[in-house]
Structure 1
């Protein structure tokens, strides 16, 4: 086989330079060139596999180089920008709770009080086994604390089963709407 002059196929020895990425039939993966030294009709290639970090040290002839392809110097930026933004947002939301301990507050539409935040973030979420009975004085914000706790469980993937038990006095229309808002989010 001789070296072909097609624009998409084959590599010449002068194209092999440091940090170039090549693919071909000899190596099982794409290889980043560390050094390429011409030695007469052969080229001594010293490279590193991109997936396995395995070091490759070979003498290659013109026939072998003709079967290789050189990756472009720069990536093309002609992809769909909406899909890119969606992917970046998914990564950001997936990692947000690791960097923001009060993450559910950013997506909650309620105004919380300091004792509610302290109960949820300093006590409920810090224990290894999360099993609680949330009971407090009337008007202390149990519904808001429950909503924050359930949102955090959902975001962190901790909520498998949730049981909300309400007393007979809890059946006023305003309070029922709050519980429905919480249970709709948890489903």
Structure 2
């Protein structure tokens, strides 16, 4: 890959060792050098001056296309985990509403009315119905 081919949005390997980075900006510094501002996934933007001698180590990475060949059982598990996570954001009593337990009113009041509001949360709830 030539220095002139580097442009905003291009994903390239060779700017940083063992990482694919996305080019954010390119500024020519002369006929044989450029200043590249880039960002690796999950990291802060950084910059580096590339010389004509660095061209041999630069390779453009094609955008990854989803293969849709994942294990269906693992996909279903991940989708269910995401569903539960999203449901808990809209229904704070999701654990009560989706369990096979039938909580009594005083138990719901103890947990949702008193315990969860306290920070830091340091309680042990021991309820033994029928113990007298």
TM-score normalised per structure 2:
0.64
Structure with a larger share of its residues in strand: 2
Per the alignment, residue 103 of structure 1 pairs with: 94
Cα distance in 1 for residues equivalent to 2:25 and 2:89: 41
- The answer to whether the aligner puts 1:44 opposite 2:34 as a matched pair is yes
Cα distance in 2 for residues equivalent to 1:88 and 1:14: 43
RMSD, aligned α-carbons: 3.4
Per the alignment, residue 122 of structure 2 pairs with: 129
Q: Deviations over 1:62-102 (max 9, x none)?
A: x4223222122x33110326244433433454575465321
Alignment gaps of 5+ in structure 2 = none
CA contact (8 A) 1:35 1:46 kept: yes
Q: How many residues align?
A: 125
Cα distance in 2 for residues equivalent to 1:56 and 1:133: 57
Q: Deviations over 1:113-155 (max 9, x none)?
A: 65543233213444433134547xxxxxx48xxxxxxxxxxxx
Classify the secondary structure of the residue corresponding to 2:67: coil
